[in-house]
Each structure stands twice: as C-alpha cells, then as structure tokens.
Chain A
Amino acid sequence: MTDAPLTQIWVYLAASPLLWLTATLVCYLIALKIYRLGRDNALLNPVVIAIGLLIALLQLTGTPYQTYFDGAQFVHFLLGPATVALAIPLYRQRERLKTLALPILAALLAGVITAGLSAVALGRLFGADTETLISLAPKSVTAPVAMGISEKLGGLPSLTAVLVISTGIVGAVLGTGLLRLLRMRDDAVKGFALGLTSHGIGTARAFQVSPVMGAFSGLAMALSAFVTALLLPPLLRWVGVVS
C-alpha cells in the first residue's frame, strides 16, 4: 500500500478547515493575477474565476460543498465586518451626501421597485416556479439580507445566495459599459446605480474605478438593504407571488 500515507494526509487535511481556507485564498490570488494580466478587464471578474477554479477543485477531489464551506466560512464571516466598515468611505462623502439627498431617495425607491418587479416578471415570463421566483426577487440585495427575505417568504435561501452573487457579477461585468452607453459621467450616480443593482460585488467593482464611486455604491447597497427588506414582501403579495 504505497498510497497509504498520502491517503492519511488527505484524510487529516480534509477534516480540518485549513485546507479549504487556504484553497480559497490561493484560488482568489490566481484569479486576481489573471484579472491583472487582462489589464483589469471587467469580463475577467476575479469572483467568477475564483469560483470556477474552486468548483473544479471540489469536483476533482469529490469534496462536498459542506466540507468546503466548513473551511471557507472564516472568509465568509468577514462579509459582516466588511459591511460595517462601509461606514468609513461613506463618512468621507458626507458633504456630497447632504446635497444629493433628494436624487438619492428618488433613485433608491425607483431602483428597489424595479429590481423586484423586473426579476419576478422576467422569471414568470420564462416559466419559473414560485420557489424560484421568490428566490430571484431579492437578488439585487446584499447576500445576508436577501437570504433572510427569501427564507421568510418561502424561497430557498441558499439558491438566493447564488442568484445574488450572479446578479452582482452581471452588474460588475456589464454595468460600467451600460453606464457609459447611457452617458453617465458623475461617479456618484454611477456608483449609486451599481451598488443598488449589484450590492457588494458591484461595490467591489466600483472601488476599482474610483473611491467616490465605491462610497456611493456602498451607500446604495446599505440603503437598498433596508428599503427592500421593508418593500419586497408587500410588493410580492401585490403581484400574487406570495399570498
């Protein structure tokens, strides 16, 4: 049995969080390198590449997602503190925030209602079942909030998490191009729209463009989390997705 020691090492490593925590960081660094090599092209989004690499790795080693997540949860945990830390770039923008209060409020309401209704209408048009529709509805909101909304209304929280991340990626990859097409030049407007649509992933992308864009993106993400949590349940009742 020449492979016995190797198997033992594998069994040991697979049981500790170290292996998949390290794998997550390594895959992300590789993805970041590819993104830099592609001269920061939005199509080479590091989140997509890192997820792809890790899925390939899990499939190759026959590792279940739960085992992976036991290790990767330490990275996942930091989403909470990172959300809190958004207060700092926001605080730096406080002067502009005051002058933009009314446009922000209008964009917030229009954006949140459009996000929920467009997801449900398009999903219905293409024949999604109720569970999928509910899971789709909060897809523009930051993952922890979206999962909470989905669960409360009878959707699948873990599916919602995946859809939220996909939405973030779509916004991050196509968003800056669409905003250019719409001739949006103000970084505050661009950031706010990206954050409202694509939450944290959009915000990560916005920070790559400029600190102002990042700050407004973070603001949009926080405000839409509040407003969506309040508005989406009555909105879904109104369109008859939930009773």
Chain B
Amino acid sequence: MLEALTLILSCQLAGEVLVLVSGLPVPGPVLGMLLLLGWLGLRGGVSERVAQTADTLLGHLSLLFVPAGVGVLVHWERVRDHWPAIAAALVLGTLITLAVTALTMAGMQRLLAWRRGGRHD
C-alpha cells in the first residue's frame, strides 16, 4: 500500500514538474499516468501490491467527484438563468458525442477487418 502510493504520487509529482517546466497544455496527473505506464512497460509487469492499491483507488472513483460537484451551489443563479442552453448542451451534446465516438470506432474496426479479409481472398 505504502510503496504503491509512493510510486503513484511520485509519478504525479514528476508529471506536475514536467508540465511546469515544459509548458505543455495538459495537467500533471495525465502526464503522470503516462509516466507510470512507461515505468510499468520498462519493468515488464505490475506488482500485486501496486495493482491492489490502484484497484482500491479506482473502485471508489465516483466518490472523488463529489466535493467539486457540490460546487453547483456557487453557480446556482447562472445555471438557473441559462438552463435551456446548459441542459441542451449537457444532454444532447453528450449523447451526440457518445454516438459519434462509438460509431467511428466500431466502423473503423469493421473497415480494417474487411480490408484484412480482402487481402486474404
């Protein structure tokens, strides 16, 4: 647990420092994730302890969004004044994005499978 947490926090810290130094427009934790991925690739595996800590952390991912979500309180008036625009963008925009992403990925998979199949014929 302690080793795993140290590894994860070290990657996050390295990510944050890299962002500060390089001026990349991405957040530190995302870069930290790539660093950890690279580290796992170099080591050629995940130790049981690290895997367990990560699974615990990710198993309760929903909880971590609660504090920021309560912040809707602060913006109540703006949300009320703009609710048709916000509701439309939230619901329709989200569904459209979901459909486009899923259909593109499934379509590309089918296209590639078809082309591979074509070469075999």
Contact = CB atoms under 8 A, between A and B. Distances in A.
Contacts of A200: 61, 64-65
B66 to A, nearest CB: 5
Interface in B66-113: 66-75, 78-79, 82, 84-86, 88-106, 108-109, 112
Contacts of B79: 162
B58 interface: yes
B28 A79 contact: no
Contact of A107 (B25, B68, B108): B108
Interface string A106-150: 110011001100111011111111001000100110111100110
Nearest to A107: B105
Contacts of B84: 126-127
Interface in A19-57: 24-25, 27-28, 45-47, 50-51, 54-55
B30 interface: yes
A196 B95 CA distance: 12
B22 interface: no
A202 to B, nearest CB: 9
B101 A197 contact: yes
Contact of A132 (B57, B67, B78, B96): B78
Most-contacted residue by chain B among A83, A136, A144 (CB, 10 A): A83
B102 A122 contact: no
Interface string A146-159: 00110010001011
A92 B50 CA distance: 13
B73 A165 contact: no
Contacts of B101: 107, 110-111, 114, 192-193, 196-197, 220
Which of B71, B79, B105 gathers most chain A CB within 10 Å? B105
Contacts of B36: 84-85, 87-88
Contact of A106 (B34, B57, B63, B105): B105
Interface residues of A: mostly helix, strand, loop or mixed?
helix
A139 B95 CA distance: 13
Given A69-B67, A225-B27, A89 B102 contact: no
Given A51-B72, A73-B67, A175 B96 contact: no
B65 A118 contact: no
Contacts of B11: 84, 87
Interface of B: 5, 8-9, 11-12, 15, 25-30, 32-37, 40-41, 46, 50-51, 53-55, 57-59, 61-75, 78-79, 82, 84-86, 88-106, 108-109, 112
**4 A-B pairs with least C-beta separation:** A111-B101, A107-B105, A72-B67, A128-B85
